[in-house]
């Protein structure tokens, strides 16, 4: 590589390829189904609520706080690696060119969140007569300008303090951004002078940390650790949908679930089930996958007002839970403890089926309880629980039959 500009270009292409490789599994998995139903149900409930929202509802404050928080949170994406501490030193005088490109990408990647929030809140602001078209256009411009300066402010603050006390920096920027957005949205006459005043405060705050950062050497260790932590969070997220080689599954004891895992004893009738139950409870990826999907099922029962939509929603999640648990328990390392068991190979398939059936029965009971609390004592909660149980059993049996055929 001849320059840091070429290094950035090469790393950016590799980074985007890495994101695309895993995101296709994320959006073709159960998340796509969950998002489809959640956005549809949420959008319908939101539109119905807007028809009855009172004019005195504090929509301007709500919009200022939510968008202000989205503007204040967001770490710079530098794509730095541990070896850069050594190999970048001869080219350190050109490091600013590399970082300028990283801050530009950080801005582009972080802008969608505040703009999505703004678009979602537009109908509420219009329904409560808070603002008109000129103020909406001005707010959109302010969001871009504030985010642009905030990305650089956070970078210079981290560079000056090596990331220490980030919550204080974000709190200051959140208060300033919320005040500015509230003044722009409401357009109240006595708040108009606040707009240039907050703008000047933001500029002074930015210039202060920019000047402080120049006096300190570039903190490679902090930005490299920040980059590694960011990628590990992405890999953990992607690992919920597909196997990520960069991430080894972590294990937690979960003593509070000890009643589900009785101590081993001589003459254990089903050692495979004993091992699988412990694997399911103590492996973070598998355990939290089931907890997350069960919680989504319960939330869907409580929030979605149409029983037919709830039936489809919890049925899809029951399918996703069952198929992913079966595949997760069936996968394993080259060596497993059950290979030492004096049992035939086909006992593992039966143990997987019974283990997944047991936890899916718990999901069915959770849906039944949520249905009774939401719809009262009626046939609807029973139908919901039956759908979860039947879909789960069908999925488990079909998965097991395919495995045996292979």
Q: Classify residue 87 by burial, with Cβ atoms within 10 Å: 0-12, 13-18, 19+.
A: exposed
Q: Which helix (H) or strand (E) element contains residue 113?
A: helix 112-127
Tokens 């009738």 label which residue?
269
The tokens describing 252, both together, are 């937690």
pLDDT score for 31:
62
In the predicted model, residues of the chain with pLDDT beneath 70 are 1-2, 28-35, 37-38, 239-250, 259, 261-269, 331-345, 400-406
Say if CB 136 and CB 59 are below 8 A apart: no
Model's pTM, two decimal places? 0.69
Q: What is the pLDDT of residue 406?
A: 46
> How far are the Cα atoms of 205, 294, 381 from residue 364, in angstroms, in the given order?
54, 9, 10
For residue 365, which of 391, 392, 384 has the smallest C-alpha distance?
A: 384
Distance CA 261, CA 257 (A): 7
**382 — alpha (psi -120 to 50), left (phi > 0) or beta?**
alpha
pLDDT digits (tens, 9 = 90+) for 20-79: 888 877 776 666 666 676 677 777 778 878 888 888 888 889 999 999 999 999 889 999
Q: In the prediction, which pLDDT does 130 show?
A: 80
Q: Which residues contact 18 (CB under 8 A, 6 or more apart)?
A: none
In this structure, are residues 167 and 158 in contact, taking their beta carbons and an 8 Å threshold?
Answer: no
In this predicted structure, what is the pLDDT of residue 267? 64
C-alpha distances in Å from residue 70, one per residue of 28, 178, 203 = 27, 10, 19
Q: Given this model, what pLDDT does residue 48 score?
A: 79
Query: How far is it, in rounded angstroms, from Cα 77 to Cα 79?
Result: 6
């Amino acid at each position: 590589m001849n320059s840091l500009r070429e290094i950035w270009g090469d790393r950016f292409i590799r980074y985007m390829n890495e994101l695309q490789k895993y995101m296709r599994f994320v959006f073709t998995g159960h998340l796509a189904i969950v998002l489809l139903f959640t956005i549809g149900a949420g959008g319908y409930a939101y539109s119905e609520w807007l028809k009855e929202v009172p004019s005195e509802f504090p929509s301007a404050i709500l919009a200022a706080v939510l968008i202000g928080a989205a503007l204040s949170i967001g770490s710079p994406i530098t794509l730095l690696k541990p070896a850069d501490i050594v190999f970048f030193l001869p080219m350190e005088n050109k490091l600013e060119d590399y970082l300028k490109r990283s801050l530009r990408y950080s801005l582009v990647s972080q802008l969608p969140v505040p703009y999505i929030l703004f678009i979602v809140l537009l109908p509420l602001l219009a329904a409560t007569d808070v603002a008109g078209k000129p103020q909406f256009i001005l707010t959109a411009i302010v969001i871009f300008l504030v985010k642009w300066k905030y990305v650089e402010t956070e970078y210079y603050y981290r560079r000056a303090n090596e990331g220490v006390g980030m919550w204080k920096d974000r709190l200051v920027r959140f208060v300033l951004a919320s005040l500015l957005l509230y003044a722009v949205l409401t357009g109240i006459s006595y708040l108009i002078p606040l707009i240039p005043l907050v703008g000047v405060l933001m500029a002074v705050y930015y210039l202060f940390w920019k000047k402080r950062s120049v006096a300190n050497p570039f903190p490679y260790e902090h930005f490299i650790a920040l980059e590694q932590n960011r990628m590990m969070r992405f890999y953990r997220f992607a690992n919920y949908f597909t196997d990520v080689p960069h991430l080894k599954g972590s294990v937690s004891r979960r003593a509070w679930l000890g009643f589900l895992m009785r101590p081993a004893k001589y003459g254990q009738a089903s050692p495979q089930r004993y091992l699988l139950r412990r694997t399911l409870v103590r492996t973070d990826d598998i355990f939290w996958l089931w907890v997350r999907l069960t919680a989504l099922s319960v939330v869907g029962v409580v929030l979605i007002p149409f029983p037919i939509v709830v039936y489809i929603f919890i049925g899809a999640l029951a399918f996703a839970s069952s198929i992913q648990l079966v595949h997760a328990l069936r996968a394993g390392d080259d060596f497993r403890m059950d290979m030492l068991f004096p049992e035939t190979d086909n006992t593992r398939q039966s143990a997987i089926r019974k283990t997944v059936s047991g936890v899916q029965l718990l999901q069915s009971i959770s849906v039944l309880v949520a249905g009774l609390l939401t719809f009262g004592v009626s046939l609807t909660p029973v139908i919901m629980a039956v759908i979860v149980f039947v879909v789960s059993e069908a999925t488990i049996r079909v998965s097991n039959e395919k495995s045996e055929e292979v």
